[in-house]
Structure 1
């Protein structure tokens, strides 16, 4: 399970709730911007994830296409979009027999989640329950409006290749102060590493 640098207990609890509601696995991309999600968690079988990635199914998946063009919930069997590559039938071979999609948020920051089970279709109340979980995750992981100047300056130095000592000297602060700024930036960006924080700061135009 992914651990979050900020609001970790609540988000981890929601991920656990989602895993209970989707016994055959789930995949959730939070705040998808420019095709890339802020956070991605996938518990589908590893073998299926490998096939999905290798065959570039993300560009052809009818469930993802539905999530990008609609909000709300829909069973996989009711999406009604073409599946010329037979992705859904192939997924069933990996235990993803029945499933649903939940889509939340504006196109500029869309959250999409898929959930699956092997025994039967999801009931309406189960779909509503999953939608509520995903909505809470979406709300809790909302990207920050901005970084402080101190946080942005610290990340910019690292992005330019400075080591901690050089970055601290450039900014006229101690190394411990620099590390504190980097830590706070990681927390605000919900990044697990400084490199990930730098990448997200660039994507959001903060540096």
Structure 2
């Protein structure tokens, strides 16, 4: 996934904002490289709730230049962005509405070409696929992770489930594999993030 973020950064001299798999108004992965002053202003004013680019991305799938979006901007977000060097940009939206990915990328010198837009769209689709969360864990995996989340140690958790400690560890291992996690702590974090616990 890092290679895709690097490719996106290389084609976005003024930075980018990537919200991958937005669920319940929150992205599972959120990476921004815009000017820190702009991101601070954006966050402090809760512009994500008012941003025409976000509205476009939630209502449509595809790719478009910022200059082609004809949505109201009563808070002047686009003008403020231009003052921070985000003069020309593209927004890409893909995925189901319940797990939408929206990425904006910008430059200060010129509009993006059609070829650059197509390349950006390809990169965003690759990021969306790479960040695809698992849709479920087995009941046994959920049970094992829940016990650890509640503070039980392996021995105590295995005893509560009436299984051996090695069988309990096997459940944790299978959960780590399913979640793409290197450690059990990371698996717990991902399971919460994906709302599987």
SS at match of 1:145: coil
Distance change (3 Å), C-alpha of 1:144 and 1:100:
same
Moved more, 45-54 or 128-137: 45-54
Equivalent residue in structure 2 for 1:92, among 70, 82, 106: 82
Gap runs ≥5 in structure 2: none
Equivalent residue in structure 2 for 1:142, among 126, 132, 136: 132
Distance change (3 Å), C-alpha of 1:192 and 1:154:
closer
Measure how far apart 1:140 and its partner are.
2.2
- Asked whether 1:101 is paired with 2:94, we answer no
Aligned to 2:108: 118
Aligned to 1:5: none
Measure how far apart 1:163 and its partner are.
4.8
Measure how far apart 1:48 and its partner are.
1.4
Distance change (3 Å), C-alpha of 1:149 and 1:178:
same
Contact 1:24 1:118 in 2 (8 A): yes
Aligned to 2:177: 184
Alpha-carbon separation, structure 1, partners of 2:193 and 2:171: 19
Gap runs ≥5 in structure 1: 1-10
Alpha-carbon separation, structure 1, partners of 2:131 and 2:88: 28
Contact 1:26 1:113 in 2 (8 A): yes
Aligned to 1:60: 50
Q: Give the number of aligned pairs.
A: 192
Contact 2:14 2:107 in 1 (8 A): yes
Contact 2:89 2:107 in 1 (8 A): yes
SS at match of 1:100: strand
Asked which structure has the greater CA Rg, the reply is 2
Aligned to 2:71: 81
Equivalent residue in structure 2 for 1:17, among 7, 25, 37: 7
Instruction: Give the CA RMSD over aligned residues.
Output: 2.4
Alignment of 1:134-173 (within 5 A): 134-163=124-153, 166-171=156-161, 172=163, 173=165
